[in-house]
Amino acid sequence: MITEEVVKAAAGNWRSGERVLALLLEKRGNDVMVTDKVVKAAAGNWRSGERVLALLLEKQGGNFEVTENLVSLIAGKFGARIMALLLKKRGDEVMITEEVVRAAAGNEWSGEKVLALLVEERGDEVMITEEVLKAAAGNEGSGEKVLALLEKSQDGMGMQAKDELIWIRKLQNMFHDALITTVLMNKSHQRTLKSGCQRRDRQLTTTGMLLKQ
């Protein structure tokens, strides 16, 4: 019997997981299950995790339970290609909840593309809440692009969330201005130090010449 632990181990195997899963699917396809733990293991597979999950969804598209946690993991850890595949295979069972949108907004590598796909395919279900905006604001990889996309998609945004977005943008601008000021001050300070060092070097050189005389 192919247990969840076996599939999880294969999904997380960055060196040969794809080949191992292909073999398992060929020989014992009915026993290979896609679970939250398997998806999480694939998410930790930096080298071939996306290919592994694509293979599982292609071959086992109808052989797993679609949970909110599973959809959120895919939205937050994988690219738009995997989300598109999930929607294609099991779209009728995929619920676009706040947690799913929040996960997409916090996706550091592909947040903008995953969120754009959700808006395009299921725009009437995508609700932009404060929690979604917080996730985007804390996204160090693609947060700026996600926020820009959210600004264009304000139809699904409540008044409180709109106020939150305005506040985040103001805060970003304030931080940007403060950062520029700090950089300029540091450069000015460095120039002052450099000038002082140069004057001291000239004084030492002059003193040395006088002593030699």
For range 15-43, the mean pLDDT: 95
Domain parsing of the chain, residue ranges = 1-65, 68-159, 164-212
Mean pLDDT over 38-66 rounds to: 95
Asked if pLDDT for residue 186 goes beyond 90, the answer is no
Q: What CA–CA distance (Å, rounded) separates 122 from 96? A: 8
Output the CA–CA distances (angstroms, integers) from residue 191 to 179, 184, 202, 203, in the order listed. Answer: 18, 11, 16, 18
Q: How many CB atoms lie within 10 A of CB 131?
A: 16
Q: Is the pLDDT of residue 180 over 80?
A: no
> CA 206, CA 138: separation in Å to the nearest integer?
56
Task: Say what the pLDDT of residue 182 is.
Answer: 65
Q: Does residue 187 have a pLDDT over 90?
A: no
Q: Which of 15-24, 48-57, 90-99, 192-201 has the lowest mean pLDDT?
A: 192-201
Given this model, what pLDDT does residue 185 score?
A: 65
Q: pLDDT at position 99, please?
A: 98
Distance of alpha carbon 85 from alpha carbon 20, whole angstroms? 21
- Dihedral Cα 108, 113, 115, 120, nearest 10 deg: 180
Res 112: pLDDT? 97
pLDDT of residue 62: 86
As a whole number of angstroms, the distance between CA 18 and CA 48 comes to 7
- The two three-digit tokens of residue 44, written as one number: 């930790």
Band (pLDDT 50/70/90 cuts) for residue 154 is confident
Structure tokens at 78: 């994988």
pLDDT at 8 over 80: yes
Q: At what angle do helices 130-137 and 159-212 cross, to 10 degrees?
A: 20
Amino acid at 39: V
SS3 213: coil
Return the SS3 of 180: helix
CA distance 197 to 213: 25
Say what the pTM is. Answer: 0.79
